Structures are given as structure tokens and as C-alpha cells.
A and B are shown apart, each in its own frame.
Chain A
Amino acid sequence: MATCTGCSLLCEDIEAELSGGKLSKVKNLCRKGHGHFQSAFSERTVPMIDGKKVDLDQAIARAAEILRSAKSPLLFGWSNSTLEAQNVGISLAEKLDATIDDTSSFCQGILMERILSGSIPTCTLDDVRNYADVSIFWGADPSSSHPRHLSRFSYYPRGDKRQKSYEEERTCMVVDVRMSATATLCKDYLFRVPPGGDAEFIEAILSVLEGKIPRLGDKKKMIELGGLLKKAEWGAIFPGLGMIYSLQDNMEVFERLIARLNEITTFKVIPMAGHFNMRGFNELLREKTGYINRVSFEGGAASHGPENSVVAAAKTCDAALVIGSDPLSSLPFGTARALARLPLIAIDPRRSLTTDAAGVVIPAAISGLEAGGTAVRMDGVKIKFEPIIKADLPADEQILSRIMEAI
């Protein structure tokens, strides 16, 4: 059995048949996971310095040199690396007095903070499968982003207390601005919100729960939703980026909703982390510094703040190491441009806009496929995996250790 590192569900029931070093048949991988596994065979990186092929030792030496001479380097990425690699990465940041941030900074960070600190109640996905009778995808489209979420945990499987599952015992709801692929599976329970309208939507739910008529939206639909929430025995809410980006600084209002719901019944929250080990990084950094992301070790002590987010730090740092992430593709133009102008080190198994712009490219083994390690699933469950393909490539952890030794 193999583990898929294509998303934060870390599916462990993957059966891969290999022939001649290639995958001949793979069972149980979704389309997204299949794309992830197949990515091992296209657009692989080679060690490069300033666009010229070099050997690995040279690339590592140059990376160490860049980081050593930088006054305020930024170490960014991390959500596609194992806990073992993240651990070395945090030590490297400490050693360099660097700023360290991961993709949660513009993803699930502001919610994850509340989950890890305990201010919003959470549970495992196995609990969801065993107990949940209501699953709510809020600003999330798992069919596209985490394809097996509904079949493995949140809607279709049978669980200890849910033997009749989706046919009789489970209700799935979607809160979204559009009819997403997931919403087509529960059309009657699609609650539409306008973009940016989540806070008002929550206020409307809160007033319905108090027995008041909501001031906004489709009143009948809101009253129906209030009834469904009150009737739930054991509910789970899965917030996606749609909700996070809409609420932003107003996350407190969601916390209030969850507290109110838990006065009535049980409601748990699991953030729909994107990359396979985003939560792992958040937990690890929190353990070491008290903060889940956006940490600077400048002056020797850990400090936290928006000025240490990748978006801000891209403008103020004087060198950057990017690992397992392609911020030049996934971040706004202005941030991408700021990063591209820095002395840039990219550690990545595959070619991307970021590796193309980087002065130093260091190829890495793909975690899960070519390198083993440990990762934390979106719900906090730790999962250990072994590689299934033998590749003559160093893992992130080894690359980072070697850079650290060379500094």
C-alpha cells in the first residue's frame, strides 16, 4: 500500500503496480492523486545555478552561500514537505535568524490558529465517518479539491453510528457563491451567499437560532437551515478558502457561531487544508515558537506578525529559499515579482515558474512516492509513509540538512 500526498487527506489505501520504474496500474487514486503520481514522470528539475546545469554539491554550496550572506532571508513553502524536513527547516531558520512562513499564511492559517489553540472544537475525519449526521462544506468544493473527502469520511461511507449513511442518516450541505461540483450532490441544501457575504450569513443564522426572523437573504431558506442545524445530532463543518477569504479579520464571528451551535448540539470544525502537510508545519512551528506561521527569528527570538507573511516579507527580505511550492504561480503578481527579483533558491522535484526564476535549483525526491516520512492529515492524524519508487534523489530533509551543515 502507498500513501497519496496529492492533498491533505493522505489516502493510505493506494495500490501501485510498477514496471520498469514506471507506474503501470494504480488503484484507488482519485484523478487529482493520479495527476500527482504521474507528475513524477514529467518536468523534473536538475541542479542548476543561474540557468546552467551543475552537480548537486555545487547547487547546495551556492544555496548555503546565498543564505549565509543574506541579512534577512525568507524561508517559504513547507506544506509539501514531511515533518522531518519541516523540522530541519525550522532549525535552519533559527540558525539564520530568518523569517519562516508557509502556504497557510494565505490559506487556512487564521482558522487553523483557532483550531490548534482549542478555541474552536475539532475532531478527526474518522469521528466524522462514525458519528456525523450533518456535514457542511462552507466555501469549499471537496469534489474538486479533496476528491475522496465525501466517499471516505463525510457523506457516503458507513460508520459506527451511521450504518444507513447517506441514504437515511446523513445530510450534506454546501454554503457557496456558486453551484460547485459538490453542491450538485446536495442541491436542496445549497445555501448561496454573495461573495464576501459570509459574516452577514452567519449573523442571519445566529438570529434564526434565537428564533428571530433573519433580516437578510431568503428567509424561508434561512429558517429551514436553522431547523436543520438545531436538529443535528453530531455536525461537522469543513470551511474552505471561500469562507476564510470572506471572513478574514472577522473570524471571531464564526467562532461565535460554533460556540452557539455547541450550546444546542455537537458541532466540530475541520479546516480544509490544501497541501498534504500544511497542518503538520503549523503544529510543529507552534510547538517550537507558539505561532503557527509568519515567524521571524531575527535577533534570536521568535516574533510573529503580518510583516513576516510571505506576501509582506517578499518585499523586505534580501534572499529567499522556496521549498515544495510555486509562489510565482500561486501568489499575486506583485508578490511574484518581488520574489523573482531576489536571490532565489528553489528546492522542488518539478519545474515551475519559481524554479525557472530561481538562481539555484535543487531537485528533490517526491514525498510519498520517492521519499518516506511523516505528515499530518487535515484533521491532525499523523500518518507515516514509505516510498514506493526508488529514485536516486535526496529528500527535502537531506537537502536542508546539507545546506545547514554548509552554513
Chain B
Amino acid sequence: MVGAMEIYMLLPKTNCKKCGLPTCMAFAVGLLGREKKIDECTPLIEEKKYEAKLKKLREVIAPLENASETGLIIHPEKCFGCGNCVVACPVNVAADPTHCGVGLGPESDKVILKVEDGVVVSNNLQECRRFGPNKILCNACTATCPSKAIEFV
């Protein structure tokens, strides 16, 4: 997954503050956290000399745009469908203790993670512990994945 430094390298690095942030590094962090949009860096959009950087930046940022509100990204092509995350997710277990809790596929509609057609899919992301004002950095799903098919940005 792309990091702030990699994004920074693709910015003008002039610290012009036109985006409203004091430095290009801060803007890079903003992009990574999806609080800022590329278009807010007007020099990058307007000045022709940044054309190549802009193109590359759009490529590296693209996966972030698919991230859910919690920052969860699933890479189905890497997923084993093993269900480790389904069984480890504390929200899943609380929502469906008699299935997810004991290792079976969920029957409740309230779960976040379930396996369909051989790969994991997400629903009800508003229930994720990483969501909302009381969010915590739970990593049960990513820590139990054998193939890095789930990550948070």
C-alpha cells in the first residue's frame, strides 16, 4: 500500500500552502487519510511541468478511493476465503455468537464480514470499531489474514 512519503515525492514539494495546509508533506498525509483531494493542489493540476507526477499520483491514489469509510480495503484477488477475519471480527462475533463465534459462516444480517463466492465481502461498515467518534484501531481482520487481502488505509 502507498505511504505518505511516496505521495509526497509526487507533489510539487514547494510548500506553497495553496491547499490550505502548511506543507506538501501535510497535504500528502491528508491525501492518504482521504481528507484532501488531489484537485486541491492547484499547481499540480495547472502547471504542465507536473503532468507526469500528476498522472502517477492519480494511479497511486486510485486504490484509496475504493476504500470504505473505515479505510477498509479488500483485495478479493488475494483472498483465500478462509474466514479467519469473519470469525475473529469482534463485531461479527457479537452479532452472531452461535455461528461466527464458533467458526461457522454467519447467519445474521448484522455482521460486517462474510465469505461469498470464495472471497470475503464487507457490509454494515458503520458498525466497524474503526468507524465513528469512538473509533478504536481494531485490527482483528487484518492481523488474522494469511494473504494481506484486507488492509486499512
Contact = CB atoms under 8 A, between A and B. Distances in A.
Contact of A158 (B93, B105, B114, B146): B93
Contact of B82 (A27, A143, A184): A143
Interface in A138-193: 143-144, 147-148, 150-153, 155-159, 166, 181-182, 184-185
Interface string B108-123: 0000001111110000
Nearest to B143: A185
Interface of B: 79-84, 86-88, 93, 97, 99, 101-105, 114-119, 144, 146-147
B87 A147 contact: no
Interface of A: 13-15, 25-35, 129, 143-144, 147-148, 150-153, 155-159, 166, 181-182, 184-185
A143 B84 CA distance: 10
Contact of B83 (A148, A159, A184, A185): A148
A37 B118 CA distance: 10
Contacts, number: 97
B103 A28 contact: no
Contacts of B80: 30-32, 143-144, 147, 181
A262 B118 CA distance: 39
A151 B103 contact: yes
6 A-B pairs closest in CB distance: A34-B118, A28-B105, A157-B103, A30-B81, A152-B103, A143-B146
A25 B82 contact: no
A31 B105 contact: no
Interface of A is mostly: mixed
A155 B88 CA distance: 10
B115 A28 contact: yes
A32 B80 CA distance: 8
B80 to A, nearest CB: 5
A152 B83 contact: yes
Contact of A151 (B87, B118, B119, B147): B87
Given A31-B79, A33-B118, A151 B101 contact: no
B28 to A, nearest CB: 29
A30 B114 CA distance: 11
A15 B82 contact: no
Nearest to B145: A185
A159 B102 contact: yes
A34 B81 CA distance: 9
Contacts of B81: 29-34, 147
B117 A26 contact: yes
A27 B114 CA distance: 8
B102 A34 contact: no
Given A147-B81, A148-B103, 5 more contacts: A13-B104, A29-B117, A29-B118, A35-B118, A151-B83
Contacts of A33: 81, 118
A31 to B, nearest CB: 4
Given A31-B81, A185-B146, A153 B118 contact: no
Nearest to A184: B146
A25 B118 contact: no
Nearest to A166: B88
B91 to A, nearest CB: 14
12 contacts: A13-B99, A25-B116, A30-B81, A31-B81, A32-B81, A33-B118, A34-B81, A34-B117, A34-B119, A151-B103, A158-B101, A185-B144
Given A156-B87, A181-B147, A27 B119 contact: no
A29 B115 contact: yes
A182 B144 CA distance: 10
Contacts of B99: 13
Contacts of A144: 80
Among B82, B87, B88, B116, residue most surrounded by chain A Cβ atoms (within 10 Å): B82
Given A15-B105, A157-B103, A151 B117 contact: no
Contact of B88 (A29, A143, A156): A156
A157 B115 contact: no
B101 A31 contact: no
A150 B84 contact: yes
Contact of B105 (A27, A34, A184, A185): A27
A277 B115 CA distance: 25
A389 to B, nearest CB: 16
A393 B119 CA distance: 30
